[in-house]
C-alpha cells in the first residue's frame, strides 16, 4: 500500500479556538455526526504544553499535535501487523528561514527515513546529496516495483540507505559529483559540491509593465492579504520583483528570506560558497576569482533546462 499523509501542521490557524479547541466534527467536506476519536483531546495537549505561561507556545501546540498524529499512524501500522514491512518517510515542503526561495533556508529541509529495525545507516546523518524528486524512485526501488529510471527527474537513494557503515556514498548521490537542480518561481539554479548558483529571470512582459501597472500589482497583493504584518515588504512600485512572484518587492511568503538576505536578495545572478558562507550572505557572482566557477554552473544550468519544458531567458536560447 501507499499512503500520503499531507498534514497542514505546523501552520495556521494558531488560535486555540480554531485549532485544538475547535469542534472536532468539522471537516473540509461536511460536519460529521460524531467526532473522530483518534487523537488525544485538547485537555491532554494543555497538560503537555503550558499555554497559560506563554502565548508563544501556540506553535508548540501544533508540534505536539503533529507528533500525536504520527503516533496514531505508527500505532495503526503495529495494530494491523504492517510495521515490519513498511517504510515511513517524514519530510516537509520548505525551510522556515527562506520560504519561496532557493536559499538553503528554503530548500534544505529535514528528512527522516524509517523502517523497523533500521537501515545499515540507521541513526546517522548522511552527507549524500538527496532531493525530494528522489523519493518516488527510491520507494519503488525499496518495494521492488519495476520502473523506468528515465521517467523520473530524481534518482533512487536506496543504495545510500543500505550501504554498510563506513562505506562511501554512491557516486549517484556523492555531494562532490552530483548536480542538484532546483527551482522556485522565477529562480532556477544548481548545486554541486560546495557551490550553489541560481539565476533570477522575470518574463519580458513583466519587465515592460508601467509604474502604474506595477503599483496595481502591489496594491492587489496587499489587499488580498489583509492586515498581516508582513504583507507589504516594500511600498515602492519601482522596487525589483520578488523571486517567487511578479510583485514589486516580493510576496509575503518571501518576507523572512528578505530579512535574512537584505544585501543580495534581488541580484539576478547569485553564487555562494556554502562551507565558508553557510548563511549565503556574500554573493560571489561578481568576484573576479570566481568567474570560472560561475560560468561552469551557468553552463550546467543551461544543460538541465535545455532538456526541460518551458523557457528561461538566455538559458534556453539556442546558440
**Most confident option among 17-31, 206-220, 223-237:** 206-220
pLDDT of residue 183: 95
Q: How far apart are CA 159 and CA 94, in angstroms?
A: 25
Residue 208 has pLDDT above 80, yes or no: yes
pLDDT of residue 240: 92
Q: What is the mean pLDDT of residues 122-144?
A: 88
DSSP per position, 100-120: TSSSHHHH---EEEEETT--T
> Cα 243 to chain center, whole Å?
15
Q: How far apart are CA 243 and CA 200, in angstroms?
A: 7
pLDDT of residue 215: 92
pLDDT of residue 136: 95
Residue 12 has pLDDT above 80, yes or no: no
Q: What is the mean pLDDT of residues 171-198?
A: 93
Q: What is the mean pLDDT of residues 83-87?
A: 93
pLDDT of residue 49: 82
pLDDT of residue 56: 64
Strands (E) in 224-297, as ranges, are 269-273
Q: Which residue has the cell 525551510?
A: 95
pLDDT of residue 64: 86
Q: What is the mean pLDDT of residues 98-122?
A: 88
pLDDT of residue 319: 54
pLDDT of residue 48: 86
Return the higher-pLDDT residue of 233 and 95. 95
Residues in contact with 18: Cβ distance below 8 Å, sequence separation at least 6, in sequence order: none
> Residue 206: pLDDT band by 50, 70, 90 thresholds?
very high
Residue 197 has pLDDT above 90, yes or no: yes
pLDDT of residue 227: 53
Return the higher-pLDDT residue of 181 and 15. 181
- CA–CA–CA angle 306, 312, 314 (5° rounding): 85
Q: How far apart are CA 17 and CA 237, in angstroms?
A: 38
Burial class (CB in 10 A: 0-12, 13-18, 19+), 141: buried
pLDDT of residue 228: 55
Residue 313 has pLDDT above 90, yes or no: yes
Q: How far apart are CA 92 and CA 61, in angstroms?
A: 18
**Most confident option among 25-29, 59-63, 150-154:** 150-154
Tell me the per-residue pLDDT of 39-76, one tens digit each, with 9 for 90 and over.
Answer: 888 888 888 887 766 666 677 888 888 899 999 999 99
> Residue 122: pLDDT band by 50, 70, 90 thresholds?
low
Number of Cβ within 10 Å of residue 132's Cβ equals 16
Q: How far apart are CA 184 and CA 199, in angstroms?
A: 11
Tell me the per-residue pLDDT of 237-279, one tens digit each, with 9 for 90 and over.
Answer: 899 999 998 999 888 888 889 989 989 999 999 999 999 999 9
Amino acid at each position: 500500500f501507499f499512503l500520503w499523509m499531507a498534514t497542514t501542521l505546523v501552520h495556521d490557524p494558531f488560535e486555540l479556538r480554531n485549532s485544538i479547541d475547535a469542534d472536532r466534527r468539522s471537516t473540509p467536506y461536511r460536519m460529521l455526526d460524531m467526532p473522530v476519536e483518534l487523537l488525544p483531546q485538547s485537555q491532554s495537549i494543555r497538560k503537555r504544553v503550558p499555554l497559560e505561561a506563554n502565548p508563544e507556545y501556540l506553535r508548540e501546540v501544533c508540534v505536539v499535535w503533529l507528533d500525536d498524529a504520527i503516533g496514531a499512524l505508527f500505532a495503526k501500522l503495529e495494530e494491523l501487523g504492517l510495521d515490519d514491512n513498511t517504510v515511513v518517510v517524514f519530510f516537509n515542503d520548505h525551510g522556515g528561514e527562506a520560504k519561496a526561495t532557493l536559499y538553503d533556508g528554503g530548500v534544505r529541509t529535514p528528512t527522516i527515513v524509517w523502517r523497523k529495525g533500521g537501515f545499515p545507516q540507521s541513526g546517522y546523518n548522511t552527507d549524500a546529496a538527496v532531493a525530494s524528486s528522489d523519493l518516488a524512485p527510491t520507494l519503488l526501488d525499496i518495494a521492488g516495483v519495476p520502473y523506468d529510471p528515465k521517467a523520473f527527474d530524481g534518482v533512487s537513494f536506496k543504495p545510500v540507505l543500505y550501504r554498510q557503515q563506513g562505506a562511501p556514498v554512491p557516486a549517484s548521490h556523492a555531494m562532490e559529483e552530483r548536480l542538484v537542480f532546483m527551482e522556485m518561481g522565477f529562480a532556477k539554479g544548481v548545486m554541486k559540491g560546495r557551490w550553489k548558483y541560481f539565476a533570477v529571470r522575470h518574463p519580458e512582459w513583466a519587465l515592460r509593465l508601467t509604474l502604474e501597472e506595477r503599483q496595481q500589482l502591489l496594491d492587489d497583493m496587499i489587499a488580498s492579504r489583509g492586515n498581516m504584518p508582513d504583507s507589504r515588504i516594500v511600498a515602492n512600485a519601482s522596487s525589483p520583483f520578488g523571486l517567487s512572484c511578479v510583485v514589486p518587492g516580493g510576496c509575503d511568503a518571501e518576507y523572512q528570506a528578505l530579512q535574512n538576505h537584505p544585501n543580495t536578495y534581488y541580484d539576478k545572478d547569485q553564487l555562494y560558497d556554502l562551507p565558508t558562507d553557510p548563511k549565503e550572505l556574500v554573493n560571489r557572482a561578481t568576484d573576479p576569482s570566481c568567474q570560472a566557477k560561475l560560468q561552469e554552473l551557468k553552463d550546467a544550468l543551461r544543460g538541465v533546462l535545455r532538456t526541460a519544458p518551458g523557457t528561461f531567458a538566455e538559458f534556453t536560447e539556442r546558440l
